[in-house]
Every structure is written in structure tokens, then in C-alpha cells.
Amino acid sequence: MDRPTITTVIVIICLLIIGLYAMGEVNYFSSKIVVERNVEAPTIIIDSIGVHEKINNQSLSQGVMHEPTSYTPTNGDVLIFGHRTLQGSPFLRLNEISKGDTLVLEWPGIGEVKYTVVDSKVVPAEYKLNAVEGGNSLYLITCDPIGSTENRLIIQGELNETGPINTQVIKDNPQESNAWIISAIFLVVGLAFSHFYPKEQRGYILAFVLIISAVLFYCCINPIPSELIYDKIIFLNGGL
């Protein structure tokens, strides 16, 4: 096998970068399974943009997070944070929400709480939003624009209906298999790419695809905190 050409080295570097991003997402979804299987965790549903996410009160690295200093539905304003990009990108399409859309919280011990969107605004990152006890608002907060932490996009909904909880929604785990899917896609696409790569250089590409894929599948079973990976590659996407 010939020595790697400059083109092959560049391709390998690109594979490593893609592999790091894939590894971050794989570890995110693999670690998140614990949250997804917790039937006591509340769920947020936004049909208009395809959001169906469990909510935690620990960290954004576990997905959509309920700000602990805010309140639970019907007891005051609720503040919910989520990433726009990376780590599952749960709020990627939050900017597509329109006034009048419905936001649903399935909250164990409280029930199904529906909010109607009344406002959408972009504010500086340092903007402070204070939850009000006894308030009836739900605030969804993410970064803006995509790939930047310069501003915050805030969607406000007003409570308009409460009802019995949908236990089937609470038990659903729609993202549980995402880590395996991402790993499989990387492997299949990588194998296809290496197959069409020039024969004399193909071995290098194939080796790196197999090594990275093996690491991804290992992370599916033994995940590490995804933020450990993103902290190392944060400069690649403008600091987000």
C-alpha cells in the first residue's frame, strides 16, 4: 500500500472531525436513556415542530432542562431550556413556532397542561428572565442564531387548559435507539465511501472508518458525558 497522499490525510482529518461530532451525539443519546426511561420525568410535546422530549432538572447535557428556580405547571411560570445544535438539538426548529401553536407538558402529579404561544423574541445572551410564582406562562429558551451563543430565542406560551395525564406519552422513549442509528450510519456511509476511494489509498480510509465505528459502538454501551467531547471541539462551530 502506497504512503498516504495529502488528499488522503485531509480526508482522514475530516473523518476524525465527523467522528468526534458523531461520538458526542452517540454519548448524549446513550447517557440520556436513563432520563427517557424515567416514567416520573415530565415530557414536552410540540407537534408543530416534531418535539417529543423528556424533561430533566439536572443539566442541559441530559436534554431538555427545567430550570429548578422556576415553578412547576399551574404553580407559576415554567422555564425550559434546550440546545439549538448538538447534544440532540431538541430545540433546533424552535424558531418555526408561531403564535397560536400549542405547547404541551405531560407532568406527573399535575397532569396534561396545554399552553398557547403568545410571543416570540430574541434577546441578548445576558438577558435575565425571572419566573413569577402564580404566573401562567411557559418559556422555552434556546440559543440564537443557530451555531452561536450571542443571543437567546424565547418562546412564551400562556396556560389555557389542564387535563388528565397521558400515561402512554410518559412511557414513550422515541430517541432510545438514536445512538445505535448514528453509529450504524457512520459505519455504512464510511464503508461506501472507502469502497469508491482510489484503491491504492483505500486501506487507510477503511482502517479509520472501522476504528471510529468501533469507538462509536463502544460508546453506545459505555457512554461518557457528551460535554467532555464538545468542550474539546467547541471552537469548530463558533463557540456553541
Amino acid letter at 139?
Y
Distance CA 207, CA 216 (A): 14
**CATH number corresponding to 38-171:** 2.40.260.10
Distance CA 121, CA 220 (A): 37
The C-alpha cell of 4 is what? 498516504
Query: Quick one: pLDDT at residue 114?
Result: 96
The set of residues, in sequence order, having a beta carbon less than 8 Å from that of 176 and lying 6+ positions away, is 29, 33, 36, 37
Sorted by where each begins, the domain ranges of the chain are 6-31+176-237, 38-171
Bridge partners for 105 per DSSP: 44, 113
The set of residues, in sequence order, having a beta carbon less than 8 Å from that of 119 and lying 6+ positions away, is 99, 154, 155, 156
Query: Quick one: pLDDT at residue 28?
Result: 85
Dihedral pair phi/psi, residue 143, rounded to 5°: -80, 155
Distance CA 1, CA 201 (A): 7
Query: Quick one: pLDDT at residue 144?
Result: 87
Q: Write out the chain's pLDDT in tens, 240 residues.
A: 678 889 999 999 999 999 988 998 898 888 777 667 777 889 999 999 988 888 988 777 778 999 988 999 999 999 999 988 877 888 999 999 999 999 999 999 999 999 999 999 999 988 888 888 888 999 999 998 887 778 999 999 999 989 988 777 766 656 668 889 999 999 999 999 999 999 899 999 999 999 999 999 999 988 887 777 776 666 555 444
* Number of residues assigned to the chain: 240
Question: What is the number of other CB atoms lying within 10 angstroms of the CB of residue 24?
Answer: 25
Please give the C-alpha separations between residue 155 and each of 24, 89, 115, 132, in angstroms, as whole numbers: 27, 16, 11, 16
Query: Quick one: pLDDT at residue 38?
Result: 72
